[in-house]
Structures are given as structure tokens and as C-alpha cells.
Chain A
């Protein structure tokens, strides 16, 4: 193969250019090695632990030994509170206009808002993405009544005692009687979705039947609410 004519001569004739070329090649090589040696350390992020599913709530009978109805009632509501304060329920009871999602209750993506009636904004209603049932191929959950709880029923950031009084307050609970509340908790389909959430979402603790029995027993024992320790401390 013929040698490139005059190549050596070019380098000899332009020592400055040759020097520059050597410098550039050297710099690139040095930066590559340097950036490799000083590469950022990988962040040591702990793996996300899956929220463990809780198979059963304590049955009503477990509270029979308590001395009086009032303390039994509070204990029953505390047990039911494991469901009420679970992400499956809290995510759609936000304080603001935007729901949260997932076991870690991160802000909902896309930025859904409650709109005028809890069904989303015109043009981006809940039903734009959420169908009548969970859709496993895309992981999008669904229910025929998928919607946000009204603002008066906001639970996030509240103590269980505050939520309890809110649930009983007919000016904030959709004008429901205690019997209506029992029916809602024990039989409502959208409430029931919490135990059949699909995807990788952790179901609410126990079963809706167990939860309904606790709420029924809570009402029968006087519907007493847990003391609001944090509110007392704030005062």
C-alpha cells in the first residue's frame, strides 16, 4: 500500500500544529481518565420496602373484655382506623384539590384536580383515565364511582380523633346518619375497592366485612371518638 506522500513533512513543517495536536489528544485522554477516577459515587438509596399487607383486623370480640362501652367504642374505632388511615383510603381524601397516589401517597400524576364536583377538571376528568374496573395491562385502577371525596371529608394530615368527629358530623359527612355511615363503610363499592386495588397497590388491612363489623360495633357502643392528644398538645 502506498504511503501517504508528504505526511511526515507536514508535521515537520508545522511544529506548532503538531504540538497542539499532541496537547489536545493528551488533554482528552487525561480528562477521560480523570473523570473516571473522580466519577460520582452511586447514591446508596435503600430499596423501597413494600408495605406489608395485613390479612385480618382484630374482630369485635377481641374488645369484649374492656370495662365499659365508651372505652370499647374508642378501641373499636382505633382498630377501624387502620383502614381509614391507610393510603388506599387517604389518597382520595386529600386536604387540597389534588389527590395523592400509591402506597407512599405521592402527589397524583398527572396533576388531577377535584373540579367542581370531585370528578376532575373539564377536559381531564377522573374517567379520562380511570375506567369502571382496574385495568391490569396499564395498571390504572378503576371503579364505576371513581372520584375524590368532597373537601368537607378531607382526612389527610388529621388525627384519627379529628377524622372520627368529622365522620359523625352531618354538616361535613354528606348528611349521613350513623346508620348511613355503617352502610357506607360496610357495603359501598368504592370503599370496597380498597381491598381490591389491583396492580402493586397494597390492599387495606383485613376485609371490608371485618371493617364494617368494627364500624357497626363502634356505633352500637356509642360512636365514641379517640381523644385528640395532638390537638391538646397544640393548645
Chain B
């Protein structure tokens, strides 16, 4: 079936089965490989994107259920995303880096919802994003830096 998706501000037409996960659409049909495949069962958070500004696990979201504009790591922009990017670099957050696009998409959503998150807010929002390098302390610190820098 033919679907038209708004991804990172541009319109894309794709032919896909109704139950194709958005993750496959992004990576295999559109070549947007910044969004990662980690577990495929919504346990790791590596595939997090935004739909209508809210975080979604794209491995568990069929293309037929995408009901708003999609933002991937390639299209993340604005003061919060920029503050997070700067904090991520300053704190050397990424190690192997595989989970980081998902971490950042979740972190953007968190700061948008809670402009000055404390440890509990961060733990509650980010625990669905697993990092096998164990960069959790840096992630938490960088989120606080970014929230302050973004003026929350």
C-alpha cells in the first residue's frame, strides 16, 4: 500500500505493508540510518523517534498507525536539541555511540515535557533507553547541563 509520511519536514511516499514497522521504513526504504535497530521489541529505546513531537519506539509502530509528522535524529533541531548536542560533546557522552540517537530523542522529549528535570524525572524518562557502555551518569549530567543551557 502507498503511504505518504512527513519526515523531518519533507514529504515521502513509500510502498509498504500496513504492518511494516516505521523503523524499517526509515532505515530500509528511506535510508535514514541514524535511527538504530537494537532489540526490535521496545525494550532498548535505540529506535526512538518523535511522532508529532512525542517519543515513539519506531520498531513497534506500524507505518499504518503513524498519525503525525515524524522527526528522526537527522531532523532534530531547535534550542533543546542544540543544547543537548553541545552537552553531549562537552561531556563525551557517546562511547560506542550505538544507542545515542535514541537517547537524544528521548532526552529532547523529556526536556520539552519537564524543562528542568531532576534525577527522578531523568530516571523515569530515560530508563527505557539502554546503553551497554554504561554512560548513564554522563547522560544524566548532560541532560541537566542542556536543560540549564536551554533556559528551562
Contacts and interface: CB of A to CB of B under 8 A. Distances in A.
Contacts of B59: 138
Contact of A140 (B60, B117, B128): B60
A47 interface: no
Interface stretch (B77-85, B89-97, B119-127): B119-127
Interface residues of A, number: 23
B124 A123 contact: yes
A15 interface: no
B43 A109 contact: yes
Interface string B36-78: 0000111101001000001111011110010000000000000
A221 B55 CA distance: 48
A123 B45 CA distance: 12
B40 A138 contact: yes
B128 A129 contact: yes
A19 interface: no
B19 A123 contact: no
A123 B109 contact: yes
B65 A124 contact: no
Given A124-B127, A131-B61, A132-B65, A140 B41 contact: yes
A100 interface: no
A138 B124 contact: no
Contacts of B57: 128-129, 140
Contact of B121 (A109, A122, A138): A122
26 contacts: A110-B43, A111-B127, A112-B128, A121-B124, A122-B125, A123-B55, A123-B110, A124-B106, A124-B124, A124-B126, A124-B127, A124-B128, A125-B54, A128-B54, A129-B60, A129-B128, A131-B60, A131-B61, A133-B65, A135-B19, A135-B61, A135-B62, A137-B19, A137-B60, A138-B60, A140-B41
